[in-house]
Structure 1
Amino acid sequence: MSRFVQVLLPARLGTGYRWLLASSWTSNLGDGLAAAAGPLLVASLTGNAFLVSLAALLRWAPPMVFGLHAGVLSDRLNRRRIVMVADGSRAVVLAVLVLTMLTGRVSVTVALVALGLLSTAEVFADNTTATLAPMLVHRDDLAVANSRLQAGFITLNQLAGPPIGAALFAAGRAWPFVGEAVLVSAGVLLVSRLVLPAHGRDPQEAVPGWTRDLAEGVRWTVRHAAVRTLVLTILIFNVTFGA
């Protein structure tokens, strides 16, 4: 067993990275539960196909709208704190949603607003989590570290989470959201154990405006051939995957 753990999580990656990975995997499983349960909840409240499709849209639209802003924010503030606030906010939203479900006061509007808030907070949590690995492991180990994070996302968020969430919804429509609330809260506790090195930006350095940072990032991507190709490839893949 210990040998398996060493292969999965080599000791050279450090304790900090293990806390990060545990937090990421835990939160991703919770996100996977909601991926199926969200549209199912709306479908149980209305027969309107547009509103049901809107529930699915609210999962994918926030990354397009807020992805760049989340990146700028992670360059300016304490990254560990961003993840904790984002995931903590999701736990609060989930608690309110579950409460409305248990009291019979949940509506389509409440469900859609909750799903939108959850997806938006997830963008900031996931984007910032991806920037923590380079702060915790040596550059030569980044491929290993990132592959473990991505494996958790694909396995737990995309593969295991949705069917588990659907099964829990069949048992009781509040259960997948209770499960996500517990898992996300656990993720907050795990990431709170991280001790990060200095951010790297001089506190006395003038901070450029958000618009300037966003524009600079877009220009850099357009001019960098390898990154530009990678972005376009991922975009095309996600469009076809979503279809």
Structure 2
Amino acid sequence: MRALVSARLGADFTRLWTASAVSNLGDGVTMAAGPLLVASVTDDPVPIAGAVFAQQLPWLLFALISGAYVDRLDRRLLVVTVNLIRAAALAVLTATIATETVTVAVIYAVLFLLGTGETLADTAMGALLPSVVDPEKLPSANARLYATFTVANQFVAKPLGAWLFVISAAAPFGLDALTFAAAAALIAGIRPAPPAPQSPPQSPPRDSSWALSGASSDASSDASLRGEIVEGVRWLGRHRLVRTLAVSMGMANVAFCAAFAVFVLYCRQRLGLSDVGYGFLLTAFAVGGLFGTAVAARLARAFGGAAVLRAGLAIEVVTHLTLAVTTTPGVAAAVLIVFSVHSMVWGVTVASVRQRVVPAHLRGRVGSVYALLDLGGAALGSLLGGLLASVWEITTPFWVAAGAMTVITVCAWRPLREATA
């Protein structure tokens, strides 16, 4: 399989792809074992929930700053350095667990550092890919990366992390440290890319709906960090297609996370499922996602990006409506499989579009703005979903999500036609 990928996408992509697989395995192991570790130190639900927030907080604090540094620095060396730092942090955590000196504060500090590194490494990896793979092969490359994430992080890592924690509490985190070190070695083997030009060949397309003023984006090399961040935000704001994709995804995440924040209660109260049934639905969701990565590039080639993205928005509306009215687990499973296929196809298509149209010297900053809207929408939606379900019915978040996605679909329909071009 690796030889086949090398022949099609090149040896450098094989290194990047393998590094992604290895680090995703380690990430998933830590995600499974982390809550178990906190629960072994304290039985207070507040610090247990806070551990998840500690790793998410850096995206809200540093996403835009990290994007600016990704565009300032050598992206390959940045990923290598960040991975080595994360490996060292996990090694320290492993040592404190092994010596029984671990505390909640130590766990929080390591998780926060891991999350901070993620804002840099993930943004840099997305910006690095177009220098490794030819533009016409980006959909296939992104599909393989998404498939790797689904298999390594969702299917393999979660049970492995729990199993290793039972054997030895330190083992999952020691393994994750090794995966980051291995990923750093693999990325270091990628050939250095030539420096990105500091001025785009042409200005991003303007449209009358977004009037902006201010300094030109040409003067970027000597600009302050704040100015560089503003340049990335301004570029995204002036490009109608990328702006539409970013805003649509941010709002869609508000709708999705508002509905699925209470999904475990929905499964029990609405569908009458046990915990095993709930696990089955999550597995079905993951299976659909894996299939989506296999067909994403083919669908984009066959129907064009615009048709694929428009169909995805329609699928989101139908998904929320179906879950709002059904009480049948089989129907819920079927619609979730279709939804997860769409989510992977959407992700692969959008990543490929962004990597093609965003100038090389702005990919980090534009990607970080996109990530901020993405995760900000998810966080807001999670809070909103719990509130709606507690005040009204368990299905209320799904009705609200269906209405919101209908509005988003109507507003985004016309601008998305540019995705095929």
Kindly state the Cα deviation for residue 183 of structure 1 after the two structures are TM-superposed: 0.9
The CA distance in 1 between the partners of 2:122 and 2:18, in whole Å, is: 13
Shift of 1:155: 2.7
1:153 aligned counterpart, secondary structure: helix
Identity %: 37
| Equivalent runs, 1:144-159 vs 2, <5 Å | 144-159=140-155
Deviations 1:159-187 (A, max 9, x none): 43223212211222111101101111110
Q: C-alpha distance in 1, partners of 2:127/2:149?
A: 15
CA 1:138–1:230 in 2, change beyond 3 Å: closer, same or farther?
A: same
SS in 1 for 2:222: coil
Q: State the shift of 1:41 in Å.
A: 1.0
Q: Does 1:66 align with 2:81?
A: no
What are the residue-to-residue correspondences of 1:44-193 with 2, within 5 Å? 44-193=40-189
Give the conservation status (yes or no) of the 8 Å contact 2:16–2:186. yes
> Are the aligned partners of 2:6 and 2:13 in contact in 1 as well (CA < 8 Å)?
no
SS of equivalent to 2:10: helix
Question: Is the counterpart of residue 196 in structure 1 residue 192 in structure 2?
Answer: yes
Larger radius of gyration: 2
| 2:12–2:190 Cα contact (<8 Å) kept | yes
Which piece of structure 1 moves more, 96-105 or 225-234? 225-234
Task: State the 1:79 CA deviation.
Answer: 0.8
Residue matched to 1:221: 236
Query: Residues 196 and 38 from structure 1, CA distance in 2 versus in 1: closer, same or farther, beyond 3 angstroms?
Result: same
Contact 2:23 2:179 in 1 (8 A): yes
Change (3 A) 1:68 1:153: farther
The one-letter code matched in structure 2 to 1:148 is: R
| Secondary structure class of the residue paired with 1:54 | helix
2:355 counterpart residue number = none
Kindly report the root-mean-square deviation, in angstroms, between the aligned alpha carbons of the 2 structures: 2.0
For 2:156 and 2:247, the matched residues in 1 are separated by 28
Separation (CA, whole Å) in 1 of partners of 2:67 and 2:155? 26
TM-score w.r.t. the length of structure 1 is: 0.89
Deviations 1:170-226 (A, max 9, x none): 222111101101111110111111112212246xx8332111111122222233332
How far, CA to CA, are the matches of 1:173 and 1:237 in structure 2? 38
Amino acid at match of 1:212: G
2:221 maps to 1:210: no
On the 8 A contact 1:135/1:196 being kept in 2, the answer is: no
Q: Give the CA deviation at 1:142.
A: 1.2
- Counterpart contact for 1:136–1:196, Cα < 8 Å: no
In the alignment, the residues of structure 1 paired with residue 221 and residue 229 of structure 2 have an alpha-carbon distance, to the nearest angstrom, of 16
Name the TM-score, length of structure 2 as normaliser. 0.53
- The alignment partner of 2:33 has SS state of helix
Change (3 A) 1:15 1:5: closer
Contact preservation (8 Å) 1:14, 1:137: yes
- Aligned-partner Cα distance in 1 for 2:34–2:231: 36
User: What's the CA shift for 1:10?
Assistant: 5.3
Contact 1:31–1:157 (CA<8 Å) still a contact in 2? yes
Q: CA deviation at 1:65?
A: 2.2
Closer, same or farther: CA 159–237 of 1 in aligned 2, 3 Å: farther
* Count of matched residue pairs: 237
Of residues 77-86 and 141-150 in structure 1, the stretch that sits farther from structure 2 once superposed is 141-150
Q: Which runs of 5+ in 1 are unaligned?
A: none
Q: Which residue of 1 aligns with 2:391?
A: none
Which residue is equivalent to 1:22?
Answer: 18
Distance 1:29 1:232 in 2: 30
- Does the Cα contact within 8 Å between 2:13 and 2:132 map onto a contact in 1? yes
Aligned to 2:36: 40
State the distance in 2 between where 1:178 and 1:132 align.
28
| Structure 2 residue identity aligned to 1:230 | L
